[in-house]
Amino acid sequence: MARSALLTVMTQAALKAGRSLTRDFGEVQNLQVSMKGPADFVSNADRKAEDIVFQELSRARPDWGFLMEERGIVEGKDPTHRWIVDPLDGTTNFLHGIPVFAVSIALEREGQIVAGVIFNPATDELYSAERGGGAFLNDRRLRVAARQTMNEALFGTGIPFFGRGDHARFLFEARQIMAESSGIRRMGAASLDLAYVAAGRFDAYWEWSVHPWDIAAGSILVREAGGILTSVDGSKFDHMKGDLACGNEMIHKLLLGRLASADASYQRARTGSAATE
């Protein structure tokens, strides 16, 4: 595929940061059995990757701002453009030596995501998309899956964990989807969940409370691959809001219906629980 100058800049930054992560990933399993603890090491790996992306993108577009996982908001002279970056999405996977993690870079122009790159260095898979230009995995054009029924569909999601998310609500949602689908997968990296929807590996994906740097790049991948993307309640998707549901037109519609049903059951259970207290 022929990349635009913009995507070339983003790709080079992602690949360079990915090479840094690959070197550090090779050390993670050794750290698992040391008394030093691997968490600090992974934090350093995260920061090194972010430094690389920041330097590469700043050199190419010095007036543009950033929203980054570690640095937070970095104001630029040009208020209409902003890079949204997660240098290591899937930190827990990385920490445990699981090769499912990615560098995620998106470009926001006047509040809209117009380009995105996601790179998993462990598998050498580079996903990219630019508004109006389609979505690609390396040099292959992507299209969302064509399956039309719940029982054929495979769903991606995120599962709440210690200190994060609404555990009870997720159990209602999972029960609803499990009963009718081909299965649910939890990859542990939202950027790759969205990339998998774009690639047709997942038929749909939903999650709550996701950071904008985890989903910004993936959102344009899904759209450019022909997918539908909204908030979980069906309203307009906002990458700054942090909840989303996506898939092809039919599976997305079916997913929203099942999630609404799960939410109704969850709210009834909460009301009943409160009444008995």
Query: How many CB atoms are closer than 10 A to CB 104?
Result: 33
Q: Is 51 a known ligand-binding residue?
A: no
Alpha helices per DSSP H over the chain: 5-31, 38-60, 91-95, 167-178, 190-198, 212-224, 249-275
Q: Is 69 a known ligand-binding residue?
A: yes
Q: Is 130 a known ligand-binding residue?
A: no
User: What tokens were used for 85?
Assistant: 């970056």
Torsion of CA 155, 242, 214, 151, to 10 degrees: 0
Give the H/E segment covering residue 203: none
Buried b (16+ CB within 10 A) or exposed e, 130-165: beebbbbbeeeebbbbebeebeebbbbbbebeeeee
Q: Is 86 a known ligand-binding residue?
A: yes
SS (H, E, C) 211-239: CHHHHHHHHHHHHHCCCEEECCCCCECCC
How far CA 229 is from CA of 207, 217, 222, 251, 257, in Å, comes to: 12, 13, 7, 11, 14
Q: Which residue has the tokens 């698992």?
A: 32
Q: Is 125 a known ligand-binding residue?
A: no
> How far apart, in whole angstroms, are the C-alpha atoms of residue 246 and residue 59?
34
Strands 112-120 and 244-247: unpaired
List residues bridging with 68 in a β-sheet.
72, 85
Query: How many CB atoms are closer than 10 A to CB 94?
Result: 26
Q: Annotated binding site for Mg(2+), which residues?
A: 69, 86, 88-89, 214
Q: Annotated binding site, which residues?
A: 69, 86, 88-89, 214
